[in-house]
Amino acid sequence: MLDTVAVAAEDPNREQPWADLGLKADEYQRIREILGRRPTSSELAMYSVMWSEHCSYKSSKVHLKQFSELSQETPVGKMLAGIGENAGVIDIGQGYAVTFKVESHNHPSYVEPYQGAATGVGGIVRDILAMGARPVAVMDPLRFGPLDADDTHRVLPGIVAGVGGYGNCLGLPNIGGEAVFDETYLGNPLVNALCVGVLKHEDLHLAKASGVGNQVILYGARTGGDGIGGVSVLASETFDADGPAKRPSVQVGDPFMEKLLIECTLEIFAAGLVAGIQDLGGAGLSCATSELASAGDGGMHVELDRVPLRDSTLAPEEILMSESQERMMAVVEPGDVEAFLAICAKWDVEAVVVGEVTDTGRLHIDWHGERVVDVPPRSVAHDGPTYHRPFARPDRQDDLQADAAERLPRPESGDDLRKTLLTLVASPNLCDKSWITDQYDRYVRGNTVLAQPSDSGMVRVDEETNLGVAVSTDCNGRFAKLDPYAGAQLALAESYRNVATGGAVPLAISDCLNFGSPEDPAVMWQFAEACRGLKDACAQLGIPVTGGNVSLYNQTGETAILPTPVVAVLGVIDDVTRRTPSAWSSAGERVFLLGETREELSGSEWAHVVHGHLGGLPPQVDLEAERSLAQLLHAGVGLLTSAHDLSDGGLAQALVEAALRHDVGVSVAVPGDAFLGLFSESTARALVTVPDGEAERLVELAEEHGVPITALGVTGGDSVAVDGQFELPLDELRAAWTATLPAALA
């Protein structure tokens, strides 16, 4: 065998394009030390993508490790799989488990909005599938620049179409998410994608290649030139200056192939034919081979020639870096290979044995008779660089926090309050998002219980017992800018509260931490504080972090995005038929506010929209109050006719959304300062209703749980009326609330 590895050892001084592939000089030198020679071009390709920020978490893992210190117990059962696996798996009782995870596909979605967003959905779905679960729902937290910006008009329609097009073709309901607008996201849209899957405990599968002699099978779509280097830098002609033109860095998705891959894989699982499995996402074959080998017996041999190609001109380096979608890699016992391949043929999914598990402790990859890779797999998959990036609280933080929004001029009359409310409900962050969500199928599969615009998404897991789960994603980047420690906790608190309003018990979280450049000490301070805040909050609430994603370098020039630690909370509900809706549906119900309202306006939508202001301290975090409120909301299932969390826009926004949902108005008396009562964004609060005659029961329940309660009024009529201040017809409110996105994006 001609040994390219041996040639590399004999030719140590050859110039290599390590810098063009995103490696630093010390990283390249470290690779040489690991191998005892210079890397081959194929090895260099593998290390470059696997040691990229996206794959190796080299700037963030020193902070992320604190999440592993949290208890693995949930309020219902144990975490069956967690950090380090493709996705976290949670016991929800009755023999069922749920897996969920949220990840980013930000930069690809800026370069090519439709395919970037579509393949973001496809990738997270395969992560869930690889755990042995059937994917049952998706969600999409999105962030864009100003709604009136030209580039927002370029990226938003494509991103939304990509999310909807891929998910709809897979037959997966999109049950929630966010669409937030801020000038810092101009040039850096955030496309975070979440998927939820369901499995029985015994169906759990892990990503490891164990069992010497077991066969390694690549199945799914053919490998092409799309997505090469998508997780690090564009792979160009550096490997071969006379070769094909520069490959596209954004993957191209085929949801119909993914649907076949899902059904094929689930049948393979049911037949018990898999010893280990991994999806091919970021870093493609480089990731799948090195991670499977590293997590298993430590050795693997692969014949790269056997990989089915869409493009015969691909060099081995490009095959290893390609992020072509809809591919999986399985480890199968020799006696099961024939049955495995037969199931793939049944589903018209191409499958090829490309290698086998060995006991060498090395990852060996051959190409046309040449050994092009000979590496210790752990050095590629897990032992990449670890950076202790310097971080420091920026000097400007004091000035920012001193500039409190509570000092800003406020509306003084009822008419001013009326105008303020109309302005806010029509603002991009608070307006109706139906222009987006109507492009998503929310009810396919028939198990969707709650979806947009409800506080959380909810799906039924078991059709006989009506066991179900609820999920919410949330983050207020302005709060995180003012105080990243509190901002991360506030994101968790809001998501936790949204799950609780439907009647579910919050169990666990997944996170997607979106920040600017880690080379900026101020950004790293934001990141470190957010991680610390999230860990402390989870410890206090007693819920684990199951896994997640970090997206860094979301920055244009010196302008970083708002720190955006998106937090997804998953909860369980024993009977989805008894869930609490987010809005009342009939007149004559009694309306109450649960929780305490304080003078908390900094970082609020009122300050942002009316004054263009960001400064001060975010609302107070009170996790014990959040826990008590959640317990009350759970205890109130069956009594409460609706429950809506209070967050962006405060009580005023909640009243409007609840009234417009079923065209039933409301009359309330807001005690004290009407402006604060309507627009403060204090946390641990919910707007709830009960039938007439049940008010006393609710008051007793609130007292039992130590939750402040305020009687506000009664549902009915065709307006939102605030006693002594103003009355706004529902028709006028609906016109203002619904017009914004269609007018901007027509």
How confident is the model over 635-686, as pLDDT tens digits?
Answer: 999 999 999 999 999 999 999 999 999 999 999 999 999 999 999 999 999 9
Q: What's the CA gap between 288 and 280, in Å, rounded?
A: 6
User: Which residues 6+ apart lie within 8 Å of 316 measured at CB?
Assistant: 41, 42, 304, 365, 367, 372
- 67, pLDDT greater than 50: yes
Task: Flag whether 548 is marked binding.
Answer: yes
Task: Flag whether 101 is marked binding.
Answer: yes
210 in a structural domain? yes
User: Which residues 6+ apart lie within 8 Å of 322 measured at CB?
Assistant: 223, 224, 225, 226, 227, 228, 284, 285, 314
Q: What is the pLDDT of residues 407-450, one digit of tens each?
A: 999 999 999 999 999 999 999 999 999 999 999 999 998 999 99
Task: Flag whether 105 is marked binding.
Answer: yes
Task: Flag whether 57 is marked binding.
Answer: yes
Across the range 336-365, mean pLDDT stands at 97
Write out the two tokens for 420. Answer: 């303020």
Q: What is the pLDDT of residues 260-285, one digit of tens each?
A: 999 999 999 999 999 999 999 888 99
Across the range 112-123, mean pLDDT stands at 94
pLDDT for res 486: 98
User: Which residues 6+ apart lie within 8 Å of 688 measured at CB?
Assistant: 591, 592, 593, 594, 633, 636, 640, 642, 643, 644, 698
Task: Flag whether 120 is marked binding.
Answer: no
CA angle (193, 548, 68) in 5-degree steps: 165
pLDDT for res 249: 65
- 136, pLDDT greater than 70: yes
| Torsion 72-76-81-85 (CA) sign | negative
pLDDT for res 230: 57
Residue span of the structural domain in which 232 resides: 4-60+206-381
pLDDT for res 229: 65
Across the range 325-343, mean pLDDT stands at 96
Task: Flag whether 429 is marked binding.
Answer: no
- The CATH number of residue 222's host domain is 3.90.650.10
Across the range 685-714, mean pLDDT stands at 97
Burial of 639 (0-12, 13-18, 19+ CB in 10 A): middle
| Maximum pairwise Cα distance, the chain | 89
Share of the chain above pLDDT 70, in %: 97
150 in a structural domain? no
Q: What's the CA gap between 507 and 570, in Å, rounded?
A: 6
pTM: 0.94
461 in a structural domain? no
Burial of 323 (0-12, 13-18, 19+ CB in 10 A): buried
Q: What is the pLDDT of residues 540-584, one digit of tens each?
A: 999 999 999 999 999 988 889 999 999 999 999 999 999 999 999
Nearest to 181 by CA among 668, 648, 717, 718: 648
Q: What is the pLDDT of residues 487-527, one digit of tens each?
A: 999 999 999 999 999 999 999 999 999 999 999 999 999 99
Share of the chain above pLDDT 90, in %: 85
CA angle (312, 317, 318) in 5-degree steps: 50
Under the phi-then-psi rule, with left for phi > 0, alpha for psi from -120 to 50, and beta for the rest, what region is 560? beta
246 pLDDT band, cuts 50/70/90, is very low
Task: Flag whether 126 is marked binding.
Answer: yes
| Torsion 668-669-670-675 (CA) sign | positive
A 10 A CB-CB count for 613 gives: 20
Nearest to 119 by CA among 278, 309, 221, 254: 254
Q: Among the listed ranges 152-156, 179-183, 292-296, 656-660, which one has the minimum average pLDDT value?
A: 292-296
Catalytic residues: 54, 105
283 in a structural domain? yes
Task: Flag whether 279 is marked binding.
Answer: yes
279 in a structural domain? yes
189 in a structural domain? no
Q: What's the CA gap between 441 and 260, in Å, rounded?
A: 19
Nearest to 249 by CA among 110, 53, 127, 55: 110
Task: Flag whether 697 is marked binding.
Answer: no
Task: Flag whether 324 is marked binding.
Answer: yes
pLDDT for res 248: 52
User: Which residues 6+ apart lie within 8 Å of 135 measured at CB?
Assistant: 125, 128, 129, 170, 172, 195, 196, 197, 262
Which three-class secondary structure state does DSSP give residue 363? strand
pLDDT for res 272: 94
Q: What is the pLDDT of residues 720-735, one digit of tens each?
A: 999 999 999 999 999 9
> From residue 7, how far is each of 44, 318, 321, 373, 422 by CA, in Å?
14, 20, 22, 12, 72
- 367, pLDDT greater than 50: yes
- Stated length of the chain: 746
498 in a structural domain? no
Q: What's the CA gap between 338 and 353, in Å, rounded?
A: 10
Q: What's the CA gap between 675 and 413, in Å, rounded?
A: 9
> From residue 198, how far is each of 92, 131, 359, 657 by CA, in Å?
10, 10, 34, 31
Parallel/antiparallel/unpaired status of strands 559-560 and 642-645:
unpaired
457 in a structural domain? no
Write out the two tokens for 627. Answer: 């826990």
As for how many domains the chain has, the answer is 1
Write out the two tokens for 355. Answer: 């290698």
Write out the two tokens for 560. Answer: 């970083």
Parallel/antiparallel/unpaired status of strands 666-668 and 719-722:
parallel
